[in-house]
Chains A and B, each alone.
Chain A
Amino acid sequence: MLISLGLLLLCQLLGEALVHALGVPLPGPVIGMALLLVLLLMRDQLTPVLPHEVGDGTLEKTSTGLLANLSLMFIPAGVGVVQRLDLVVSHGPAILVALIFSTAIALLAGVAVFRLLARLVGEAT
């Protein structure tokens, strides 16, 4: 459990370090995710040098546990937003209308193209 958490933090740290060192405008945690994915893909080759916990399902359990509570982690930022709603309210309902419609349009565009191309590659369900 502790090693798994440490490994997640280490990947994030390396991701942040890479982003800052290269000066690229990318999110460090996303790079960290890519690094962990690479590690998982190479896990079988690396088994002798990796801690036991990485291979016995603990890393999976820790990660799944974190992701099951992803909602919780947005609450502190969300509470901050409630206090700055004045920024949006001062512009009336126009922004809310734009947000609702653009989100619906983006969702529909996304699934439409996904389904179309899935059919093309023979992956439609």
Chain B
Amino acid sequence: MSQSDFALWVYLSRTPLLWLTLTIFVYVLADRISAKLNRNPLANPVLHSVWVIGLILSFTHTPYRTYFEGAQFVHFMLGPATVALAVPLYAHRRTVMRVLLPMIGALAAGAIAAMVSAVLIAKVLGVPHDVLISLAPKSVTVGVAMGIAERTGGDPSLAAVLVLMTGAIGAIIVTPLMNAVRVRDMRARGFALGVAAHGIGTARAFQVDIMAGTFSGIGMGLNGLLTPILVPVFLPLLLG
């Protein structure tokens, strides 16, 4: 790199513009590939964009803080997008109202199963006590999980890592798992995914089927209300 190229790089790498542009283009590419592969779960666009950008940051010695100054504009849209879930919910309100009881049951079952099984499996495998606390809220959306971890004496950053890993795992396993147990009802598939794997699951659901996406959004929203109540109740029992 010549001196002037380097100066240009130093200038650009510090502007939010470069990292925002990179985020969008890496995602567009990952999404195109995912679409070309018929939305194969292993071609998950979030997963692949994340490691590609992570590699670029590490090669260019760019601190996350610098990257986030650009990427925050995309990150910020999570809030309005969550509000926007009301639109498909409204459009499908009749279908939703017909399965209100199944949704309430599946919400309770999915939320409790996620928390109890995660903590118990990890406990049996010898994961330390303080990590188990941060593991309990792993199925809800990241902001809520961090708040729960904070209130129950866990580590919010660790909780965030576990939440995002859970989302990626859910988005990858849901299609093969549901096909294996022959569940074709997109309402059930979507709803269970939203409860178990929050927004990353919902993002996957919207790419596969609008009905699955709608129900996934409802599952995610309802679990965001239920898990903050469940964790403080169940955690002492599970850790005891």
Binding site for B on A (CB under 8 A): 5, 8-9, 11-12, 15, 25-30, 32-37, 40-41, 59-60, 62-64, 66-68, 70-85, 87-88, 91, 94-118, 120-121, 123-125
Contacts and interface: CB of A to CB of B under 8 A. Distances in A.
B174 A107 contact: yes
Contacts of B121: 97-98, 101-102
Nearest to B232: A25
Nearest to A4: B84
B118 interface: yes
Contacts of A98: 117-119, 121-122, 125, 127, 135
Contacts of B119: 98
A80 B23 CA distance: 13
A110 to B, nearest CB: 3
A40 B86 CA distance: 8
Taking chain B's interface residues, is the majority helix, strand, or loop, or is none over half, making it mixed?
helix
Interface residues of B, number: 117
Given A8-B83, A110-B192, A103 B170 contact: yes
Given A94-B122, A94-B126, A125-B185, A105 B221 contact: no
- B27, B87, B142: most-surrounded residue (chain A CB, <10 A): B87
6 contacts: A30-B82, A72-B77, A74-B46, A102-B166, A107-B170, A114-B103
Given A71-B31, A95-B135, A123-B102, A77 B169 contact: no
Contact of B161 (A36, A59, A84, A117): A84
